[in-house]
Structures are given as C-alpha cells and as structure tokens.
Amino acid sequence: RFCKLRFKKVKETPYRRLCSTKKILTVNGKFPGPTLRVHQGDKIFVKVYNKGRHNITIHWHGVNQPRNPWSDGPEYITQCPIQPGGKFKQKIIFSTEEGTIWWHAHSDWSRATVHGAIIVYPKNGTNYPFPNPHKEVPIILGEWWKKDVSRVLEGFLKTGGEPNTSDALTINGQPGDLYECSKSETFKLLVDQNKTYLLRIVNAALNTIFFFSVAKHNLTVVGSDGGYTKQLTTEYITISPGQTMDALLTTDQNNSTLYYMAARAYSSGTNVSFDNTTSTAILQYKRNDAVRSQSSTTPTLLFPYLPDYNDTKSAFNFITRLRSLADNDHPINVPLNITTKLISAVSVNTFPCPQNSSSCEGPNGTRLAASMNNISFVTPSLSILDAYYYRINGVFQKDFPSVPPFLFNFTSEYLPLELELPKRGTKVKILDYGSTVEVVFQGTNLVAGIDHPMHLHGYSFYVVGYGFGNFHEERDKLSYNLVDPPMLNTVIVPKNGWTTIRFTATNPGVWFMHCHLERHLTWGMETVFVVKNRKNDPKAKLLPRPSDMPSC
C-alpha cells in the first residue's frame, strides 16, 4: 500500500503556556504534532515543507527503513538539512515494526516541539495479541521551555556548562494543574467504566527520563518500541527519551473520583540539575446527569505513587522485567554466534578551557563534553551517507575503537584524569553486511555518572543483559537472556552499570547511534555504523538515492 501524505508543514506558531505566549516550531501548527496512523507493511511518502527560519530534518524513530537510509533524517548523518523555504519528499517504509513509535525533528534541538506519535496497526486481517481495546489514546510526554530552545542550545554551547532545565514537564503538550496558569488546559481523559484503554505512550522530552503512573490504576504493558512484549502489570513505568510503550488500562474504579496521571523525572546523576516539577493529567469517568446532580461536592482527586527522582532500583526493577512476546506469531531471532563485538564506554567528559576564553562554566573551569570510547563525535558538514555513497574522502574516519582506550575501573570514584579529556573525531564503525553484532555499553563515573538512553537508527536490537558495576564478560554473559529478550531501539544504560544489545546487520546504510538525552548528543555521545552496501545483491543493496535530497 502506498499512500501519499502532505501533512508536514514546519512553521512557527504562537503557543501559550505558563502564563506567557511564545512562538514555537510546529508541524501543521500543532504541538504535539499530528499522529501518523499506518498499518504494518505500508509504504508512505511524506512531503516536508520548511516554512520556518531554521534548518530542519525529520526522523522516523523506530522505523527500520530497510535499504533506505536516504529518508532516515538525522542531519549531516544521512542527509543535509532542509533549509528555510526548502522541501524534501521522504519515503517511509514500515516493515516489521508494529505498535507505537514516533517521528521527530533531528536538527539541533528543534525536536523539543517538532514531534508526534506513529501508530502502526497490525496488517489488515490480523489482530493485536491482546483483546481489542475500547479506545486508543496517545500520551506524549515532553517538556516546555519558557525560552526559545534554540537560544537554550546557543547559551550552553557558549558557556560550556550545563544547559538550563525545562520550565515544565508536559503530558500531551500540557503541564497540568500543578503549574501556574495551566489548570484549565490540563489534559483530561474522559473514560467509560469497565472498559480497557490502550495508552500509546511516547517520551518525546529532550532531557528527561520519566516515571509515569495513574492513581489507582495499574498499567499492563503489552509493547515497547514497536514490538510486542509479554504482558507486564505494573504500578508505574520508567520511560526514557526515545522510548515508546503500549499499556492497557482498565477503568474498574469508583466513577465518582478523579485520578491523576502523573509524570516526573528520574535522574540518578549527582550534581546534575534536572526539571524536578511534576506534570499531571486527569482520568475522569463519564457519569450520567442524574448521578452528577446528586453529588454537589467536588470529587476527590487522587495522586498516584511515583518512585523518588533518584530511585535507580525502582527504575530498573521495571525496565529489567520487560520481555519479548516471543510467541508463534511473533518469533524472535537473537543472534547467538557473534562476529563483531564492541565494548563502548559512554561518558560525560570535559575539554580544557581554550586560551583567551572566559566562558568555561563546566566543572573546575572546563567545558563539558561527552564521548563513546573517549571519542567525542564531531558532526561533519557533508552527510556521511553521501560521503560513503560517493566515496568522498575526508568526511569521516573508519577507526571508531571497538574497546575503550584502556581497561579501567569504570565505576570507581577516582578515574584517570586523561580519560576526562576525550579526543574529537568523526569516527564510524564499518560493519559487513550480515554480521552479528554485540555492543556492551559501559556507563562510567567520569564527571557525572548518570543513566544514558542509547538509541540505534535502522534497527531494532535485542537487549540481552543489564548489570551494575563493571562489565566482566566471563561472569556476565552467563546472565544473558537469549530466550525472550525485549526488542527495542532505545535502551537505558544504568548509572555506573552496563547494558548489552545484539542485532544482525542486515540493513545496509549509514545508521546513527547516540544517547537520546539531547544535551549528551550535543556534547558528542554518538557514533555511526556503516553497514556495507552490497551492490550485486538485491536484498542487500541500497535503494536509489532520491533526486531531491537537500544539498549542504
């Protein structure tokens, strides 16, 4: 099925939040942006018109885009940005993903407001692996910034310090009634009693990992990142920027009470500032007029349980219980014989203050940075995909290290100072088509030990293991789940801990891998996999380069 959509007009639109109005970048005037609804196996075209004042690109987060990195979207990785006044027609190929995923801008910090949900329904004629819900509701978690986000970005790039935190957390674009001037616009979900609702939850925030829960109502998670999971009933969820979760909620409670849905930050970093406010929405049962007129008093409003902001144990208690559905209709295929192994230390670092610079507000007069295996990624000025495709030299180097610079006690309080200073480079990792890849992300305690939600474009991967402390292969591989590991595209690496993922490199192209905390991405916590194009193999060769690709 090929359908054509013309729904992407990126433009400035005035929005009022927290008592004041500002212009934000939107798609078709909407914040959050429009929900895209498709079926598994669809191919669609989206025309993106840039009517704003800044460069823009759009990424289809969680869409694997087989053989089609051309439309993936990250700027200077797979395409040059669409300039103001320009346009680009993207072809989105939905292959295996099913459930909730999302789309967002992938250019500087514009995804703060340029994002929306994608709902991938089962193929026509097939069903959910759970009873059909009464209704489906997108729940998009995000942030609101009083300042223009492009100013926030400019600001901390200039000072070298931490960026400002957001001024409000949001649920479906609304801070909710705990914030000034926000009460009347609080997102309200009106429900019928004794029905099941499917919440399609997206974390679209730039810098906030969320805990989310609903008063008196458990959530039953049935999917994550566009794949089904075994049903997991829980009081709260942990969801990082980039992740999506499908959760069933049954309306089996007293219909005269109001229930808060609440979202607040999980942040394990010490001395790392974060937005410590709480966003709320309201779950309200529909009642007939007779009942309503009897009760003159205002109904009670119940607040749900949420773990403390730094409760790493609760965060991972939930995360590590996710399992692939892995039934006959949804078989899994975890690579068992690994041909390519990587261990990647993911760190926050510092650069020394350049001479004659007064703006070095990082720790001890430095500038903050971030790295993978001590390489702080430098964004090139040509797209890496074009450089690979046309064999243009000098845009990237092929020597991204497969292991950290030297073995060290990643999680110790005292770490060698030289590790605090990463090297700059546009280093990529080349993968043979069909190789079976294992990546161990090792969190470190450099500068600020904190969780990192690592995201890979072009693939879903199996998360086969997690742990705290230093990774020891001999010991830790014994704990791997090779039976029903969750298949995700974004996974949280615990503070001072590790996470192992596996995938088979059967999607040729140039695929970005990065921390989905926007400030860490800005600081350089990213690299690129180049999966070799096999020109003589129809299954393994890139689709033709679209002729209307924007140029740099």
514 is a site residue for Cu ion (CB under 5 A): no
Distance of closest approach, residue 514 Cβ to ligand C2O, in angstroms: 6
- C-beta closer to Cu ion: residue 488 or 515: 515
- C-beta closer to ligand C2O: residue 17 or 516: 516
512 is a site residue for ligand C2O (CB under 6 A): yes
- C-beta closer to ligand C2O: residue 60 or 410: 60
- C-beta closer to ligand C2O: residue 78 or 350: 78
Distance of closest approach, residue 323 Cβ to Cu ion, in angstroms: 25
Distance of closest approach, residue 202 Cβ to ligand C2O, in angstroms: 10
Rounded distance, CA 324 to CA 339, Å? 24
3-state secondary structure 496-551: CEEEEEEEECCCCEEEEEEECCHHHHHHCCEEEEEECCCCCCCCCCCCCCCCCCCC
Residue 514 interface partner, choices ligand C2O, Cu ion, none, CB cut-off 5-8 Å depending on type: ligand C2O
Residue 61 interface partner, choices Cu ion, ligand C2O, none, CB cut-off 5-8 Å depending on type: ligand C2O
Q: Is 172 exposed, middle or buried (0-12, 13-18, 19+ CB in 10 A)?
A: buried
59 is a site residue for ligand C2O (CB under 6 A): yes
307: amino acid identity, one letter:
P
Sites for ligand C2O among residues 2-41 (CB under 6 A) = none
- C-beta closer to ligand C2O: residue 59 or 67: 59
74 is a site residue for ligand C2O (CB under 6 A): yes
- C-beta closer to Cu ion: residue 264 or 520: 520
| Residue span 449-468 as binding mask against Cu ion, x where in contact by CB under 5 A, dash where not | ---x----------------
Residue 74 interface partner, choices ligand C2O, Cu ion, none, CB cut-off 5-8 Å depending on type: ligand C2O
Distance of closest approach, residue 73 Cβ to ligand C2O, in angstroms: 8
The CA–CA distances, whole Å, from 301 to 59, 166, 184, 239, 287 equal 39, 26, 15, 25, 16
| Residue span 462-501 as binding mask against Cu ion, x where in contact by CB under 5 A, dash where not | ----------------------------------------
- C-beta closer to ligand C2O: residue 225 or 420: 225
- Among the listed residues 43, 249, 25, 227, the one whose alpha carbon sits nearest the alpha carbon of residue 135: 249
437 C-beta neighbours (distance < 10 Å), count: 23
- C-beta closer to ligand C2O: residue 221 or 525: 525
Judge whether 241 and 517 are in contact, CB under 8 Å.
yes
| Residue span 469-508 as binding mask against ligand C2O, x where in contact by CB under 6 A, dash where not | ----------------------------------------
Applying CB under 6 A, among 67, 200, 514, 519 the residue interacting with ligand C2O is 514
Strand partners, 259: 283, 302
- End-to-end CA separation in angstroms for the chain: 33
Applying CB under 6 A, among 61, 67, 217, 452 the residue interacting with ligand C2O is 61
Q: How many positions of this chain bind ligand C2O (CB under 6 A)?
A: 11
Structure tokens at 319: 């995360």
Structure tokens at 57: 């690109």
- C-beta closer to ligand C2O: residue 69 or 176: 69
Residue 515 interface partner, choices Cu ion, ligand C2O, none, CB cut-off 5-8 Å depending on type: Cu ion
Q: How many positions of this chain bind Cu ion (CB under 5 A)?
A: 4
Distance of closest approach, residue 59 Cβ to ligand C2O, in angstroms: 5
520 is a site residue for Cu ion (CB under 5 A): yes
Helix extents (H) in 363-517: 384-389, 473-476
C-alpha count within 13 angstroms, C-beta hemisphere, residue 497:
20
517 is a site residue for Cu ion (CB under 5 A): yes
From the list 230-238, 275-283, 300-308, 509-517, the region that binds ligand C2O by CB under 6 A is 509-517
Phi then psi dihedrals of residue 151, to 5 deg: -70, -40
Distance of closest approach, residue 494 Cβ to Cu ion, in angstroms: 12
**H helix and E strand count, the chain:** 6, 33
Rounded distance, CA 209 to CA 234, Å? 17
The CA–CA distances, whole Å, from 493 to 152, 207, 343 equal 26, 15, 13
- Among the listed residues 209, 233, 239, 203, the one whose alpha carbon sits nearest the alpha carbon of residue 221: 233
Rounded distance, CA 267 to CA 309, Å? 6
- C-beta closer to Cu ion: residue 36 or 517: 517
Judge whether 82 and 88 are in contact, CB under 8 Å.
yes
What single string gives the DSSP state of each residue in 136-160? EEEEEEEEE-SS-HHHHHHHHHHH-
From the list 218-226, 392-400, 479-487, 510-518, the region that binds ligand C2O by CB under 6 A is 510-518
Residue 17 interface partner, choices ligand C2O, Cu ion, none, CB cut-off 5-8 Å depending on type: none
Residue 520 interface partner, choices Cu ion, ligand C2O, none, CB cut-off 5-8 Å depending on type: Cu ion
The CA–CA distances, whole Å, from 326 to 198, 369, 487 equal 21, 40, 10
519 is a site residue for ligand C2O (CB under 6 A): no
Rounded distance, CA 446 to CA 146, Å? 31
515 is a site residue for Cu ion (CB under 5 A): yes
Phi then psi dihedrals of residue 518, to 5 deg: -60, -35
Q: Which residues make up the interface to ligand C2O (CB under 6 A)?
A: 59, 61, 74, 104, 106, 242, 455, 457, 512, 514, 516
Q: Which residues make up the interface to Cu ion (CB under 5 A)?
A: 452, 515, 517, 520
